[in-house]
Structures are given as C-alpha cells and as structure tokens.
Amino acid sequence: MSSARLVLADGSVFEGRAVGASGSVDGEVVFNTSMTGYQEMLTDPSYAGQLLTLTYPMIGNYGVDAAVEESGQIQPRGLIVREVAPVSSHPRSTSDLATFLAEREVVAIDGVDTRAITRRIRRHGVMLGTITTEPAAEALERVRALPGYDSIDWASQVSTGEQYGWEPFARENDLHPAMEPKANKAVVKPHDADASGSPKRVVLIDGGVKRNIMRSLVARNCEVTVLPIDASAEDVLALKPDGILWSPGPGDPQVQNSQVEETRKLIGTVPLFGICLGHQVIARALGAGTFKLPFGHRGGNHPVRDERTGNVTITAQNHGYAVDPDRLAASADVSHVNLNDGTVEGLIMRDEPVMAIQYHSEASPGPLDSMGIFDRFVELMDAEGGAG
C-alpha cells in the first residue's frame, strides 16, 4: 500500500495507508461508533459529502454482501478506518472490503489513529478535511478554501430524478437478511398466507431514502411510490396515497425551505410520517427550528425515551442536526427525547395523524427495537382510511 494522509481544516495531519481507489477526496469528517454495518453505512445517502470515520478498530472482517446495501452507490466521499481486515469470512460474503473499495472507486485510508481523530472531532466539532497523497500543506490550503458543508443542498443531490414504484421482492437484493421471518418473526412478507387486506398506498418523498425503509413498508403490505424531493404537495396528493413518508437524507434542513412549505400543505390530509431529515422538515413545518450539533449522533447505541410511556429503546442514529422545539406549534408535542443530551427525538400532533422520529427505526443491521413504528404508521392509515 502507498502512504496517504488525512488532513483536517484545523491543521491536524494523520498519516496512514491508501486503501481502495487512488486520488484525493474532500468532505466533512464525521464518525460512527457502530461495530458492524460498514457496507450499509457506505451506501447510506445520509453520508453524502462526508468523510466517514469508523471508530471500531478492525473493519471488514465479515466481507461484503450486496443484499445489505441501502442504495445503488457509495455515498460518503471517503472512508477512514484503523485497519481494513486482511481476511474476511461470512457465508454471505462475496468479496473482501479492500477489493470492494477498489471496485467501487472509494478513496479510503487505514493505519490512522481513529480514536485520536474522534477525540478531536468531539472536542472541536465536525470540520472539513481531505484524504490525500499530496503534501499536507497543499492539502490544507485546498481544504480551507472549500465551501461550507451546510451551504450545499446534499439531499437534492441524492434524491431520485423521477418517480418510481418499489416493486415488492422484484428488484435484486430487495430482501435484507434481517427482514427474513427467521430473523424477525414480527415481519410478514406480502405474499405470505396471513397477509390480508388491500395494500396501503404510501408516497415516499425521497431526500435520501434507504432501501430498508421501503423493505419495511412492503413487508407490511404497502405499495410504495417514490417521488423526488422537489415534488409539490399537489404531486403527492394526486397519487391518492393512504399515507406519506418523508425520508431521511443528508445536509442542513435549513436549505429545504420550499419543501417545508409543501409539507405544511400535507398536514391534515393523510397520515404523515417523517424520519430523520423528514422529521426535521416536518418540525420546521410545525414552527420549530433546527440547529447543528457539535459532532452529531452517528451509531447504534443511542438511548431514546418515549415521553408518553417512559419506555426507553436503543436506537441507531445518523444526523448532524437537531430540532429546536421552542417555537413548536401548540398542537404538537415532543414525543421522544435523547437521554444522552436531551435533544428532540420525536414529534406527534394531537389532532392530526402526524408523527416524526429523529432516529432510524429501519436500521440495518440494527438495533431493531423501534421497528414497531412502521406498524404504528400502518395503524394510522387504517384508522384514517387514506385519501383514495
């Protein structure tokens, strides 16, 4: 392997080895504390424009498997790890991580002290950086001239360009291993004998959707139609949905002003459910603000309390922004709170079928504690009867 370095905007330099594709990549440097799920993270659109640091020291020991990918392409600009496993072993594995990175043209670096990188980000906040083979001084000059991450509409960049329908179990790799009945017996595939009733029509607004959201809906007898992020309220309602889901996605929710206005028109029509970026857009439509977290919530071990029941679940999260509830409409309540820092993790409306969560109920490989939120969404659609 050739030498490479990670250069941060504060002047920090971390020497390591080049892995995967050659070249230099720039982005906002973030970290995720999950021990597994590296392939899901690499294909998660919410990492668009970022350099992803994985804190677990060895990555790649169970190889790669196309069935777990969350989108059709690599989403972060680059990958930063302590060590890429030289050997991988898993019944589903078709390749090793180093080969996967090279084939997908991912610029990555290993051999760096990811613990030191994480501590620096925790202390000073997320910042721009570069993975490069060029001299550190030249790289630092380039990084400091980059536009701020918050100024770019990343969600529009990863959204679909056209409407499409998610065909249940027709596309390659639709069925994630975690969705198999033996792994999650609460899940019923649409073609199973006990699946009953007409499918619910769900319109999904794509700000960076993950495949497991659509898998989770299809597993609950829903027909899913995906629309671009710039779809109008009229576009959405013209499809006569039984429910609307606003997807997760990357970037600052403050750049989604037009979608906040369109979402406001959807409130009170049919059940509306938002996840992550969708949660933030719905919150803004209800009068709340948003702000950037110092280093974000990214990992699979975040405790969230349901304010209505007192129940605590462990959740997977991946976001750099949070909701400020100070100006939240009187008709809405904070339903969930992060027990680590007290930030808002969920919203509900009292008199309208609207709910939103900041965490990822669809998380793969998990935890699966919050998968029941999709059942709640279906229950809302059953109760309301839809727009069609």
Known catalytic residues are: 276, 360, 362
Q: What angle do CA 91, 48, 377 make, to 5 degrees?
A: 75
Q: Which residues contact residue 336 at a Cβ distance below 8 angstroms, ignoring those fewer than 6 apart?
A: 304, 305, 306, 307, 344, 345, 346, 357, 358, 359
Consecutive H or E run containing 211: helix 211-218
Residues 116-126 as b or e (16 or more Cβ within 10 Å = b):
ebbebbeeeeb
Other Cβ atoms within 10 Å of 344 Cβ, number: 23
User: Which of 260, 312, 249 lies closest to 70, judged by CA?
Assistant: 249
Q: Virtual CA dihedral for 366, 377, 198, 387, nearest 10 degrees? A: -140
Residues 6+ apart with CB under 8 A from 123: none
Q: Taking Cα atoms as reference points, which of 304, 317, 322 lies closest to residue 366?
A: 317
Residue type, 155: A
Instruction: Go through 273-303 and write b for each residue having 16 or more CB atoms within 10 A of its CB, e for each that does not.
Output: bbbbbbbbbbbbbbebbbebeebbbbbbebe
| Beta strands at 107-110 and 78-80: parallel, antiparallel or unpaired | parallel
Amino acid at 256: Q
